[in-house]
Amino acid sequence: MGHAAGQRRRAARRPAGTGGVSGARFCRACGAALETLPLAGRLRLVCAAGCGHVEWNNPLPVVAALVERDGRIVLARNAAWAEGTFGLISGFLEAGESPEDAVAREVAEELGLVAEAVALIGVYPFERRNEVIIAYHVVAAGEIVLNEELAEVRLIDPEKLRAWDFGTGLAVRDWLARQASARG
């Protein structure tokens, strides 16, 4: 089990100069160098020319979908991932888009499926990628048509689904635990 799906496009769509801890090298306001200074409780990259710009490096929200179609869970392998590596459908929100709409859109774009029910599983920090994952259980219908981001999908019976211990895997873990307790 692997990384959150959609990683390649997400990386490509991430605005230049934001993101990971290493972050930007130049001030996005004036182009001067950045320097590391203590500010508001931790070390931050601050404009060395004194224009006042700070790279706050706030985590980006990402939506992820545990897609259920005809009672089975859809796991996807990103085209950039190794054989045997599967994850959830995920992506960034567009400006002005609700998380629920964003996750339904990602499911439509990447799998060609129509989301019929969208229910929050939980919210999970993903420090390594400086993201916060908002994970949903998405019941979806239609015929699966992969877009160019995905190499293949697997349809897995929920009883055979296994969580992984980072990123979107934590949402899988919580969803499976709830399924188990609902069965009693």
Q: Residue 60 — φ and ψ, nearest 5°?
A: -90, 140
Q: Which of 11, 29, 119, 141 binds Zn ion (CB under 5 A)?
A: 29
Told to check if 47 binds Zn ion by CB under 5 A, we report: yes
Told to check if 129 binds Zn ion by CB under 5 A, we report: no
Q: Report the residue number, 47 or 102, with the smaller CB distance to Zn ion.
A: 47
Told to check if 34 binds Zn ion by CB under 5 A, we report: no
- 74 neighbors 138 (Cβ within 8 angstroms): no
- 152 neighbors 140 (Cβ within 8 angstroms): no
- 171 neighbors 3 (Cβ within 8 angstroms): no
Tokens standing for residue 83:
């054989």
Told to check if 93 binds Zn ion by CB under 5 A, we report: no
Closest CA to 168 of 108, 116, 124, 128: 124
Told to check if 33 binds Zn ion by CB under 5 A, we report: no
Q: Which of 27, 133, 139, 172 binds Zn ion (CB under 5 A)?
A: 27
Select the span of 24-32, 65-73, 74-82, 150-158 touching Zn ion (CB under 5 A).
24-32
Closest CA to 62 of 162, 180, 157, 168: 168
Select the span of 10-18, 42-50, 58-66, 97-105 touching Zn ion (CB under 5 A).
42-50
Regarding beta strands 150-156 and 72-78, do their DSSP bridges make them parallel or antiparallel, or are they unpaired? antiparallel
Select the span of 20-28, 59-67, 75-83, 86-94 touching Zn ion (CB under 5 A).
20-28
**73-83 burial: b if 16+ Cβ within 10 Å, else e:** bbbbbbeebee
Q: Report the residue number, 3 or 53, with the smaller CB distance to Zn ion.
A: 53
Q: Report the residue number, 10 or 53, with the smaller CB distance to Zn ion.
A: 53
Site string (147-176) toward Zn ion, x via CB under 5 A: ------------------------------
- 123 neighbors 130 (Cβ within 8 angstroms): no
Told to check if 30 binds Zn ion by CB under 5 A, we report: yes
Site residues (vs Zn ion, CB under 5 A): 27, 29-30, 32, 47, 49, 51, 53
